[in-house]
Structure 1
Amino acid sequence: MKIIGIAAGLHAGSFINRLLEAAGGELPKGVGFSVWSGLGEIPPYARGPVPASARELIRLVAASDAVLLTAPEHSLLPVELTYALDWMSARDGLSGKHVAVISASARACGAMWAQAELYKHLQAAGAVVMGDELVISPAGRHFDEDGHLADPALRAQVRAVIGRLCPAEVMEPALLL
């Protein structure tokens, strides 16, 4: 199984990007995981030739079994993420694709609103969407020195999302909740 990760954050060191990397570390052995980091290069959707950055994303998503997406820390989606979703939607790149969404915010409403907005775009594109709102403050200490999730409760929440994303046959018994 292969999963592609997409972070809704445009800054490499942002909390949401770090959360995506840490979530990828919670995947079972044998599950391939790579993060696509070209969000800042995606242009608005337009009819005609597909730009290289959108082609790369469409190809990566098509070659994966599922997508793990982190929503932004605030209630607004970055316009580049909507561009990426528009390109994939126009090319049926998400049709039938399993997509898990993890969001985090200092306020419950921020996570809920960001996730609801993402769900609308993903479901309109034909994706099979699943996920949880993680109501945690980005200001807290959630990662250890190696970038792994330090909080057992947060790890359990992330593993629950992964448990719905990965088929049971690839899950390790310790990850099944």
Structure 2
Amino acid sequence: MRIIGIAASLHAGSFVNRLLTAVGRELPPGVRFGCWRHLAEVPPYVPGPPPEPVAGLLRSLDEADGLVLTAPEHSLLPAELTHTLGWLSAFGALAGKHAAVMSASARACGAMWAQAELYKELSAAGAVVMGGELVLSPVCPHFDEKGRLVACYLRDQVLDVIRQLCPVSVGQPVFGDSARREPAFSA
């Protein structure tokens, strides 16, 4: 199984980027994971051939079994993510694709609003959408020095979303070997 991750933030050290990397470490054995980090390079959709960053993502998604998106708490999606989803929708890249969405916020309503926007965009593009709204206390540590999830309640919520995206077959190892690996490929 192969999963592509996209963080809806242009800031490398942002919470949603760190969350996406941590999600990749929580995937079950045998799942290959790669983060697509070209969001800032995507122009608004216009009919015609896709620009190279989008063409690369289209190729990666064609070979992938699923997609994980992490988004900030804002009720409006970042313009770059909206542009990217517009391109993917126009080329039918999300039709039937499983997409897990995680939005994080210190307030429940912020995560809920971001989640609703992503669900709407992805569903309109034909994706099979699943996910969770992660409510985070700004005073709690969420990651260790290696970027792994340490907050048990957050890790449990992330694992619930991963189980929806990558159901474990009988006899397979359990989820959550967070010390296991780095992302397996570059999208």
Alignment of 1:126-145 (within 5 A): 126-138=126-138, 140-145=140-145
Cross-structure match for 1:45: 45
Q: Which amino acid letter does the alignment assign opposite residue 106 of structure 1?
A: A
Q: Which segment is superposed worse, 163-172 or 89-98?
A: 163-172
Once the 2 structures are TM-superposed, how far is the Cα of residue 109 of structure 1 from its aligned partner?
Answer: 0.9
Cross-structure match for 1:97: 97
- TM-score, scaled to structure 1: 0.94
Checking the alignment, whether the CA contact within 8 Å between 2:43 and 2:83 is kept in structure 1 is yes
Checking the alignment, whether the CA contact within 8 Å between 2:28 and 2:174 is kept in structure 1 is no
Structure scoring higher RCO (CA < 8 A, sep ≥ 6) equals: 2
Cross-structure match for 1:152: 152
Cross-structure match for 2:185: none
Query: Cα RMSD (Å) of the superposition?
Result: 1.4
| Secondary structure, aligned partner of 1:154 | helix
Deviations 1:35-91 (A, max 9, x none): 000000000000112111111111111111000110113222100000000000000
Cross-structure match for 1:80: 80
* Structure-1 separation of matches of 2:82 and 2:102: 17
Cross-structure match for 1:16: 16
Gaps of 5+ in 1: none
Q: 1:127 to 1:75 in 2, by over 3 A?
A: same
Q: Percent identity?
A: 62
Q: Which segment is superposed worse, 125-134 or 50-59?
A: 50-59
Gaps of 5+ in 2: 177-187
Checking the alignment, whether the CA contact within 8 Å between 2:159 and 2:175 is kept in structure 1 is no
* Structure-2 separation of matches of 1:80 and 1:174: 32
Aligned residues: 175
Q: 1:73 to 1:29 in 2, by over 3 A?
A: same
